[in-house]
Amino acid sequence: MASVSAKLVKELRDRTGLGMMECKKALVEADGNVEAAIDEMRKSSGMKAAKKAGRTAADGVVAVRVADDNSYGIIVEVNSETDFAARDEGFLGFVGKVADAAFAAKSDDVAALMAGELEAAREALVQKIGENIGLRRISIVEGELVGAYVHSNSRIATLVSLKGASVEVAKDVAMHVAAVNPQVVSQSDMPEAVIAKEKEIILAQPDMASKPAAIAEKMVVGRINKFLAENSLVEQAFVKNPELTVGAMVKAAGGEVASFSRLEVGDGIEVEQLDFAAEVAAQLNNK
């Protein structure tokens, strides 16, 4: 069995809300793998699923560009080390240039886009601001009608492609995607591996052990259907009118949802967090 760091225990505790010793035990049994520990804790305690994407742990902004004819749009995520740098005028100007270049190239190839002038501009900005800065990812959505939404803090941006309806409806759906964060457009889009893992977790929960096989199977089907509905865009209650699903709202406007993309700054990136005392101690030890 592996030993685990206090940092990993804290991360698991923050993500699950469970006790320190329980988190440490789960991590030891999972050989320090946080995601595996979460799965096992869900099986043993019925704990609700933690977001697998991880907590947002990096700064920066997202930016969007949409074609005048709404045939396609792009989102770029550019990261900095601190929120202070993310508000710098030079940094925001660089983000604008990156977004314009990605839109013009209609490409999500980060390495190709950052070759040449943009890389030189990035290096100059790093020297000026004193922080590491980088283009992390680009997302492109194409279709009959593409709408976008950027949250007021410029940390979440979405693109939605509709068949039919209107730009206003596409923007409303994009806002919903930003707020609710669905995984897929419809149930049929959910990967079989995700469904299989969810079923495994449900079957391992304590309340399933004493149930006859037929009843347990019905319970599994019900919980899987609930999971799919909660994570499928067209079946979610529309944030602006919860009496309608997103799918029903779009259909009433004469359209259907084709695809979407959602980028959130720092999603899945982990950075070490030191408390003040630890930071001071580290500085003293380095002297």
pLDDT in tens, 189-219: 999 999 999 888 888 888 877 888 788 888 8
For 84, the 3-state DSSP assignment is: helix
Residue 175 has pLDDT above 50, yes or no: yes
Q: Which residue has the tokens 């979440």?
A: 156
Residues 203, 92: Cα–Cα separation, whole Å: 49
Alpha-helix runs per DSSP H in 106-212 = 110-113, 117-129, 167-180, 192-203
Give the strands of the sheet with 145-150, arranged side by side.
Answer: 145-150, 156-164, 255-264
CA 2 from centroid of its chain's CA atoms: 30
209 DSSP assignment: T
Domains of the chain, first to last: 1-55 (1.10.8.10), 59-185+256-264 (3.30.479.20)
Model's pTM, two decimal places?
A: 0.73
What b-and-e string marks burial along 81-100, b requiring 16 or more CB atoms within 10 Å of the CB? beeebbebeebeebbeebbe
Q: For residue 281, what are its two tokens?
A: 């101690």
pLDDT in tens, 93-151: 999 999 999 999 999 999 999 988 999 898 888 878 878 888 999 999 999 999 999 99
**pLDDT of the residue at 54:** 35
**Which of these, 265, 68, 266, lies nearest to 151 by C-alpha position?**
265
DSSP string, 42-72: HHHH-PPPPPTT-----EEEEEEEE-TTSSE
